Amino acid sequence: MKKRRIFTLLLISVLVLSIFMVGCGNGDNGDNGDNGDNGEVENGGESPDRVAIATGGTTGVYYPLGGAFANIVNDYVDGVTANAESTGASVENANLLNDGDVDFAMIQNDISYFAFEGIEMFDTPMDNLRGLATLYPETIQIVADAGAGIESIEDLAGKRVAVGAPGSGTEANARQILEVHGITYDDFTPDYLSFAEAADNLRDGNVDAAFVTAGTPTAAITDLSTQHSVVLISISQDMIDEIVSEYPYYTQVEIPGGTYRNQDDAVDAVAVMAMIAVRAELSEDFVYEITAALFENLSDLESAHARGGDVSLEGAQDGMSLELHPGAQRYFDEAQ
Ligand code: GLU
């Protein structure tokens, strides 16, 4: 009798255990499949065979460089297909990445910091964001209609200003820089426009000025300056000092004379860093392989845009505002 009871108990335990194991096998592997991934879980992370890269508007720099990154993955990483998507840029990209709708994202380092901490424009910390590498400086460029009488940021009060696409890092920069100058959105008419829309509206006289946070030269401004007479507005040294001390991710830069048509003099400005961020859920081996492919084919980035030439192994952690993904960390530890 006793033996039989022990046997029955054993049988039940085996059954319960096997049901539990089947349950695990069918369980969610963390890949919510929104981007069509066919993810495999290994080393505690996913190794999808399709990846999506969030970039920005088509006349910015994220778009061509994100496209070049996708091509590198397609050409040099076996069994992985990458696709670069046009988006509203940094803030939208942080949301897309954190939600697992994309696997990699181009983001400004100030915005990824706010996202990770859940501050400024983000309500909750975004735990799914990890750093792969910082890339190149993105300059906050303030371009104005040459006939609108705008010579300083203070002159933007009362004007119609394109402040960046909804969900862009540009918009956050416009807000912060204006605020340091004592100007709020109540003091002028803000228009939430992509770089291409801002350029068209400036040319057609519907807006007086536009903020553009992007690597230089930015195609939207290059094209505009060949069709319309525009000027770039300098930020005064006092205000640059204040911006940098209030928001530590800004650095002081100069837009060299001759960057755009009819712009002979250098312009004083501030910049943030562009970075590639990656989903924390991707496996270490997978991200290692992607990082290696990127850094072993940097000339492909340079051919896509001049700022691609700024990307280097030595500079890949300058201004990094996120914890590095362990796959990227392993690559840099080995390569440096
Ligand atoms: N940094 C810009 C933003 O997040 C986008 C720059 C680009 O598209 O090159 O608003």
Ligand 1, atom nearest to 138 Cα:
1
Give the model's pLDDT for residue 202.
98
Is a pLDDT exceeding 60 seen at residue 286? yes
Instruction: Mark whether 146 and 249 lie in a shared domain.
Output: yes
Instruction: Mark whether 219 and 250 lie in a shared domain.
Output: yes
| Span 279-308, average pLDDT | 98
Q: Maximum CA pair distance of the chain?
A: 101
Average pLDDT of the chain to the nearest whole number: 90
Output the ligand 1 site: residues, CB below 6 A.
Answer: 56-57, 60-62, 89-90, 108, 138, 164, 168-170, 213-214
Token pair 């919510």 in the structure block, residue: 32
Candidates 63, 59, 82; CA nearest to 274 is 63
E-only strand ranges, 55-205: 81-85, 104-108, 129-145, 160-162, 189-191
| Span 253-274, average pLDDT | 97
Q: Considering only residues 266 and 17, tell me which one the structure prediction assigns the higher pLDDT.
A: 266
Is a pLDDT exceeding 60 seen at residue 154? yes
Instruction: Mark whether 164 and 286 lie in a shared domain.
Output: no
Read off the DSSP letter of residue 251. E
Give residue 208's domain range: 138-272
Instruction: Mark whether 203 and 151 lie in a shared domain.
Output: yes
Pocket probe for ligand 1: among 96, 110, 163, 168, the residue whose CB has the most ligand atoms within 8 Å is: 168
Whether the CB-CB separation of 53 and 106 falls below 8 Å is answered with yes
Position 26 in a domain: no
Ligand 1, atom nearest to 171 Cα:
10
Is a pLDDT exceeding 50 seen at residue 312? yes
| Span 300-329, average pLDDT | 97
Q: Which of 272, 294, 311 finishes a domain?
A: 272
Instruction: Mark whether 198 and 309 lie in a shared domain.
Output: no
Instruction: Mark whether 319 and 195 lie in a shared domain.
Output: no
Pocket probe for ligand 1: among 97, 106, 305, the residue whose CB has the most ligand atoms within 8 Å is: 106
Structure tokens at 57: 């508007």
Position 120 in a domain: yes
Ligand 1, atom nearest to 91 Cα:
4
d(CA 56, CA 124): 23
Q: Considering only residues 173 and 13, tell me which one the structure prediction assigns the higher pLDDT.
A: 173
Give the model's pLDDT for residue 41.
55
- pTM of the prediction? 0.87
Position 93 in a domain: yes
Position 2 in a domain: no
Instruction: Mark whether 151 and 256 lie in a shared domain.
Output: yes
Instruction: Mark whether 155 and 62 lie in a shared domain.
Output: no
Whether the CB-CB separation of 252 and 244 falls below 8 Å is answered with yes
Using pLDDT thresholds of 50, 70 and 90, give the confidence band for residue 336. Answer: confident
Cα 285 to ligand 1 centroid, rounded to whole Å? 29
Q: Which of 272, 288, 310 finishes a domain?
A: 272
Q: Is 195 exposed, middle or buried (0-12, 13-18, 19+ CB in 10 A)?
A: buried
Q: Which of 272, 296, 327 finishes a domain?
A: 272
Cα 164 to ligand 1 centroid, rounded to whole Å? 9
| Span 187-200, average pLDDT | 97
Cα 85 to ligand 1 centroid, rounded to whole Å? 13
Using pLDDT thresholds of 50, 70 and 90, give the confidence band for residue 5. Answer: low
Is a pLDDT exceeding 50 seen at residue 151? yes
Instruction: Mark whether 92 and 170 lie in a shared domain.
Output: no
Is a pLDDT exceeding 80 seen at residue 3? no
Is a pLDDT exceeding 60 seen at residue 29? no
17-26, 201-210, 240-249, 313-322: least confident range: 17-26
Position 24 in a domain: no
Is a pLDDT exceeding 50 seen at residue 14? no
Read off the CATH number of the domain in which 324 is found.
3.40.190.10
Instruction: Mark whether 212 and 131 lie in a shared domain.
Output: no
d(CA 162, CA 214): 15
Pocket probe for ligand 1: among 55, 61, 276, the residue whose CB has the most ligand atoms within 8 Å is: 61
Residues 35-60 have pLDDT tens digits of 444 455 555 699 999 999 999 999 99
β-strands 129-145, 41-42 pairing: unpaired
How many domains is the chain partitioned into structurally? 2
d(CA 232, CA 174): 14
CA distances from 133 to 2, 55, 218, 231 (A): 65, 15, 21, 33
